Structure 1
């Protein structure tokens, strides 16, 4: 690859990182806490690429015209590397969704993680308690005090179909989308029946109560939620939990 091509690619890549870091698209790749590092890397790439281009222009202005005959093919091939960078500029990929949940389930993944080393904090007061999917699934499976029993909670996730059941799911990441894993809740009860025709990957905010004893090893530590209400919502700006 020619030096000029390398410099242009460096500027384009820095610009792409800066774009997704500022408009929020980076949340489809990494956790929110990584934004400063992403923006820092973008600025460094832009500065290095810009300095290199200016330096090469000054050198080329005073240099003799080189023979391009032996470089035509390599340069054209190198420019194909611009395509992935342009894709970042022009195409915002969707967040991981129902397909990822099903692949994870097919691979035999078990939800719930390890038993927490410390007791759960008491749930806050109120008629309806907002929880993340991770908090709900973890409490349902590992809270010896059964703090969820009888409490109405609200959860937000996307629809997944599994063996005729309607699931509410959310992808959880530790660092980035590459290590994402799903947490799922099976929606049951009369209010859940109309959700059977809701398209997969539709985002819902659901209120309901846990079905005691539904989180077992046989279900992959996946609890059931008796639905009280459900409404369609827009995909959150940050589609992942951490």
Structure 2
């Protein structure tokens, strides 16, 4: 690989990182806090490309800086992201990871839900509350959860979220089963208002169930991971 090509590869990789961070597409792969590290890394790669490009003529004559052809493989993931722009993880993966236990709760016990109205809960929080004290804080309360639709057998469906620690590679599935409403299409984002069914999801590995009062379609949020 010639020095000019080395510089172009670095510049391209840097440009892809800058674009992902600037346009928000990075949220399909990593958590929000990684925007600035990605942006800085992209700018640094572009700056590193300047020297090889400026010194390309002399380096190519001397053949001093040989780089293995395998370096071209660095371009493959960048090209996929730049050209294809893969979507965020959704129902396809969620349905194949059915039965996973939700991540451990960050608190020992939950405070009661606010009085009045219909509180909006993350799917993960609803699961935690069901596990906490046999769902005492959910009993008799109408709540709203939001997520994408994933399917199960025999017409069963779920409001689902993918929870990540740092990146999509460590994604975990959290979901609540919805009863009493027609099953929407896979990957459609919905807001479901309903009442937690007493006794469901109170033990690890059991499925929490929401008796639906209403289901409405919502826009896909900018941050799809929990």
Judge same fold: TM > 0.5, yes or no. yes
Cα shift at 1:79: 5.2
Q: Distance in 2 between matches of 1:109 and 1:145?
A: 19
Q: Distance in 2 between matches of 1:150 and 1:22?
A: 44
Which ranges in structure 2 are unaligned for 5 or more consecutive residues?
none
Q: Distance in 1 between matches of 2:62 and 2:167?
A: 47
Q: After superposition, what is the alpha-carbon deviation per residue over 1:127-169, rounded to whole angstroms, capped at 9, x for unaligned?
A: 1101111111111122456111111111111111112211111
In structure 1, the residue matched to 2:8 is: 8
* Conserved? CA contact 2:97–2:173, under 8 Å: yes
In structure 1, the residue matched to 2:126 is: 136
| Number of residue-to-residue matches in the alignment | 222
* Conserved? CA contact 1:120–1:143, under 8 Å: no
Cα shift at 1:56: 2.4
Aligned partner of residue 128 in structure 1, secondary structure: coil
In structure 2, the residue matched to 1:186 is: 177
Q: After superposition, what is the alpha-carbon deviation per residue over 1:22-70, rounded to whole angstroms, capped at 9, x for unaligned?
A: 111100000001111111111111111123212325x36xx8598xxxx
* Conserved? CA contact 1:173–1:180, under 8 Å: yes
Cα shift at 1:100: 1.1
In structure 2, the residue matched to 1:203 is: 189
- The TM-score with structure 1 as length reference comes to 0.82
Question: How do 1:70-85 residues align onto structure 2 when only pairs under 5 Å count?
Answer: 82-85=75-78
Aligned partner of residue 214 in structure 2, secondary structure: strand
Q: Distance in 2 between matches of 1:116 and 1:55?
A: 54
- Which has the higher mean CA deviation after the structures are superposed, 155-164 or 171-180? 155-164
Alignment of 1:235 onto 2:220:
yes
Structure (1 or 2) with the larger CA radius of gyration: 1
In structure 1, the residue matched to 2:206 is: 221
Q: Distance in 2 between matches of 1:79 and 1:173?
A: 30
Q: Distance in 1 between matches of 2:196 and 2:135?
A: 14
* Conserved? CA contact 2:193–2:214, under 8 Å: yes
* Conserved? CA contact 2:7–2:51, under 8 Å: no
Question: How do 1:25-36 residues align onto structure 2 when only pairs under 5 Å count?
Answer: 25-36=25-36
* Conserved? CA contact 1:209–1:225, under 8 Å: yes
Q: Distance in 2 between matches of 1:25 and 1:80?
A: 22
In structure 2, the residue matched to 1:37 is: 37
Cα shift at 1:81: 5.1
Q: 1:159 aligns with which of 140, 146, 149?
A: 149
Aligned partner of residue 136 in structure 1, secondary structure: helix
In structure 2, the residue matched to 1:56 is: 56
Q: Distance in 1 between matches of 2:199 and 2:4?
A: 64
- The TM-score with structure 2 as length reference comes to 0.87
Q: Distance in 2 between matches of 1:213 and 1:172?
A: 24
In structure 2, the residue matched to 1:150 is: 140
**CA gap 1:19/1:212 in 2 versus in 1, 3 angstroms:** same
* Conserved? CA contact 1:158–1:200, under 8 Å: yes
